[in-house]
Amino acid sequence: MKRRLIAIDLDGTMLTHNKTILARTKQTIKRVRGLGHEVVIATGRPPRSSVNYHRELELTTPMVNFNGALIHDPARPELDIHFPMEREVALQILGECKRFGVDNVMMEIKDRYFAQQIDELIHFLGDGSDPTGVGPIERYLLEHPTSMLIRTSKETIQPLRETLNQSFGGMVAHRYWSAPYHVLEVIKANISKATGLEILVDQLGFAREDVIAFGDEENDLEMIEWAGLGIAMGNANPVLKKVADRIADTNENNGLSSVLEELFLKDA
């Protein structure tokens, strides 16, 4: 069988609700890799909260983090491809955040993060690590940031998105998380998991049609559309299911491993 590059999202796809990898999933991935196929993690998470899964699966491939804004290899620090947004644009967005009276802003610069204040969002996303700095974000915005997370009320989300589109449409892209908090994630425009994978197929010797991608949320949309075979989880956002080539079972019910076993291990 032709070698494949299998790109897998973490939350809601590879991970269960308690953020663990099912034993069957680990065993299936090990067997599939044993046949010569490669597995890549493609996540919106920063490295600090995803490299542990990379180690748990004993992967040797680079990772796609921040939805494509950072491509790096935990074993080879020299592979570090970063697509940050412009610092001046980030400063202007912070001005809009003040105008809208948002609840909190969190800024990531590669694997360091800064927060306007400590709240539930920070506990949820901080992964046990403390922010590098807490206070007015402008104080820490000395470099081009990888991403910004803006927590606000449900009522503010849409007008804030419209403002970002009108004022910064060609410079940044944004995604909305509705659970467990109302959050806008802002990154450089025209960056996605798909653009990260485009770089990796060249690095690893694959073609686009060799890529099989699994995901469940809005931030997986470009990747699912771009891949040779795009698979949405049974628990996926309906928007993703509409563009996927097929639907797997849910992340809680071995959806990922069931499809991999069907594709690669039936006759193994």
pLDDT at 1: 77
pLDDT at 147: 95
pLDDT at 106: 94
Is the pLDDT confidence value at 151 over 70? yes
pLDDT at 109: 93
Question: Mean per-residue pLDDT for 40-44?
Answer: 96
pLDDT band at 101 (very low <50, low <70, confident <90, very high): very high
pLDDT at 94: 96
Q: Write down the residue that tokens 């509409």 correspond to.
A: 242
Is the pLDDT confidence value at 22 over 90? yes
pLDDT at 179: 66
Contact call for residues 115 and 217 (beta carbons, < 8 A): no
Question: Mean per-residue pLDDT for 153-174?
Answer: 94
Which segment of 5-14, 123-132, 144-153, 209-218 scores lowest on mean pLDDT?
123-132
Contact call for residues 104 and 156 (beta carbons, < 8 A): no
pTM over 0.85: yes
Is the pLDDT confidence value at 83 over 80? yes
Closest listed residue to residue 140, CA positions, set 112, 103, 165: 112
**Residue of 9, 11, 103, 216 with catalytic role:** 9
CATH class given for the domain over 87-188: alpha beta
Question: Mean per-residue pLDDT for 249-254?
Answer: 97
Distance CA 129, CA 112 (A): 10
266, 36, 207, 173 alpha-carbon torsion, rounded to 10°: 90
- Give the chain as a 3 state SS string: CCCCEEEECCECCCECCCCCECHHHHHHHHHHHHCCCEEEEECCCCHHHCHHHHHHCCCCCCEEEHHHCEEEECCEEEEEEECCCCHHHHHHHHHHHHHHCCCEEEEEECCEEEECCCCHHHHHHCCCCCCCEECCHHHCCCCCCCEEEEECCHHHHHHHHHHHHHHHCCCEEEEEECCCCCEEEEEECCCCHHHHHHHHHHHHCCCHHHEEEEECCHHHHHHHHHCCEEEECCCCCHHHHHHCCEECCCHHHCHHHHHHHHHHHCCC
Is the pLDDT confidence value at 196 over 90? yes
pLDDT band at 176 (very low <50, low <70, confident <90, very high): confident
Extract the tokens encoding 93.
């967005």
Distance CA 170, CA 190 (A): 8
pLDDT band at 123 (very low <50, low <70, confident <90, very high): confident
**Nearby residues of 202 by Cβ (< 8 Å), 6 or more positions away:** none
pLDDT band at 266 (very low <50, low <70, confident <90, very high): confident
What is the topology classification, in CATH, of domain 5-82+191-265?
Rossmann fold (3.40.50)
Is the pLDDT confidence value at 121 over 80? no
Q: Where are the domains of the chain?
A: 5-82+191-265, 87-188
pLDDT at 60: 96
Active site residue 267: no
Average pLDDT of the residues of the chain: 93
pLDDT at 169: 84
Distance CA 64, CA 204 (A): 13
